[in-house]
Copies of this chain bind each other. A is one copy, B any other.
Amino acid sequence: MHDSLFRALADPTRRRILELLSERDRTAGEIAEQFPVAFASVSHHLGVLKAAGLVATEREGQFIRYRLNTTVFQEVVRYFMKSFSGGNDA
């Protein structure tokens, strides 16, 4: 479990970004317009999420499309269940 992963999850704006991406893929601009902070700030958050492996990107012309990396989430769930849960499924 990398440290960057949990640090990335520790910010509420980033968790909200992940929730948005769980609905559907979105461009950086579509994500940014959902938040009352500067465009560049959201871009910073996207960079943190990408560095943590939680999202992946693909350029589409002028746009950059973000999508969830669901594999990493499954690893997080596995970590919690293995290390901490009472052994029951959730």
Taken together, the copies of this chain in the complex come to: 2
Nearest chain B residue, comparing its CB with the CB of A10: B10
A12 to B15, CA, bound (A): 19
> Which residue, of A68, A70, A74, has the highest number of chain B Cβ atoms within 10 A?
A74
Q: Is A60 an interface residue (CB 8 A)?
A: no
Interface of A is mostly: helix
Q: Is A62 an interface residue (CB 8 A)?
A: no
A3 to B9, CA, bound (A): 10
Q: Is A63 an interface residue (CB 8 A)?
A: no
Binding site for B on A (CB under 8 A): 1, 3, 6-7, 9-12, 15, 18-19, 22, 68, 70, 73-74, 76-78, 80-81, 83-86, 88-90
